[in-house]
Amino acid sequence: MTAKTLSPVVDPATQNISPGKVYPGGVDSHHAPVVFPDGFEAQIDEVITHYPVSKRSASLPLLHLWQETFGYISPEGIEWIAAKLELQPINILELVTFYPMFRQHLAGKIQVKVCRTLSCALGGGYALHDYFRTKCKVGEPDAHGLAISEDGKYSVEFVECLAACGTAPVIMINDDFYENVSKQTADELLIKYT
Ligand code: FES
């Protein structure tokens, strides 16, 4: 596999993120001004109080909260969280690009997550992942392993153990959990969610 060349997203002199520059595969095609839902900033402030010794320790919880709220971590989110924690944007960006659970663009409206850890891998998780990719017509996975259809309707990705190893292969669709998933079940589930 050929390694991708990454463009610099942070100005080394200022540590600022250049507008519009994100990693390949993380291109944000849904750019819109960030509007905070009611109570969002209060929730952020409350989380930070759990880390009185070092606000930096709140970085991951804040990123999770941002992604749960907005669906992905935008450049604006990286800058905002960094400012909130009195860090540089690079300190937050490096977490977003390191941890596979963070996304730099929206996932599909119907999100298929296939477990690839040992039991599920042995139980057909990889073949199931391929099957969903074909059925959902998603493209190549991005740097975070997320493959999304052109219309944004579906995304398919691998996840690690979903704690039901005895009933492999296991998947999630959005927040719903399914065990012993066959190709036939996959077809039925896709009809159910369409
Ligand atoms: S290995 Fe898939 S649920 Fe544990």
Q: How far apart are CA 168 and CA 173, in angstroms?
A: 15
- Quick one: which atom of ligand 1 is closest to the CA of 116? 2
Residues in the chain: 194
Cβ–ligand 1 contact at 168 (below 6 Å): yes
Cβ–ligand 1 contact at 96 (below 6 Å): no
Q: How far apart are CA 138 and CA 155, in angstroms?
A: 7
Contact 11, 51 (CB under 8 A): no
**Cα of 185 from ligand 1 centre, angstroms:** 18
- For 160, other C-beta atoms within 10 Å of its C-beta total 12
Beta-bridged to residue 172, according to DSSP, are 113, 177
* Domain ranges within the chain, ordered by starting residue: 1-106, 110-193
Q: How far apart are CA 144 and CA 155, in angstroms?
A: 12
**Cα of 164 from ligand 1 centre, angstroms:** 5
Q: What is the CATH number of domain 1-106?
A: 1.10.10.1590
**Cα of 51 from ligand 1 centre, angstroms:** 32
Class of domain 110-193: alpha beta
**Cα of 91 from ligand 1 centre, angstroms:** 32
Secondary structure tally for the chain: helices H, strands E? 7, 5
**CA distances to 51, 63, 107, 180 from 88, in Å:** 18, 15, 27, 45
CA angle (42 as vertex; 36, 45 as ends), nearest 5: 115
Cβ–ligand 1 contact at 118 (below 6 Å): yes
Instruction: Split the chain (194 residues) into runs of 10 and give each run's mean pLDDT.
Output: 40 49 40 78 96 96 95 93 96 91 89 96 97 95 88 94 95 95 97 93
The helix/strand/coil state of 160 is coil
Q: How far apart are CA 123 and CA 188, in angstroms?
A: 19
Cβ–ligand 1 contact at 164 (below 6 Å): yes
Q: How far apart are CA 49 and CA 61, in angstroms?
A: 12
Cβ–ligand 1 contact at 159 (below 6 Å): no
Best mutation site among 113, 114, 117 for ligand 1, i.e. most ligand atoms within 8 A of its Cβ?
117
Cβ–ligand 1 contact at 101 (below 6 Å): no
Q: How far apart are CA 120 and CA 176, in angstroms?
A: 17
194 alpha carbon, distance to own chain's centre: 22
User: Which residues, other chains included, contact 9 with Cβ-Cβ below 8 Å and sequence gap of 6+?
Assistant: 17, 18, 21, 22, 23, 75, 93
Cβ–ligand 1 contact at 165 (below 6 Å): yes
- For 4, other C-beta atoms within 10 Å of its C-beta total 11
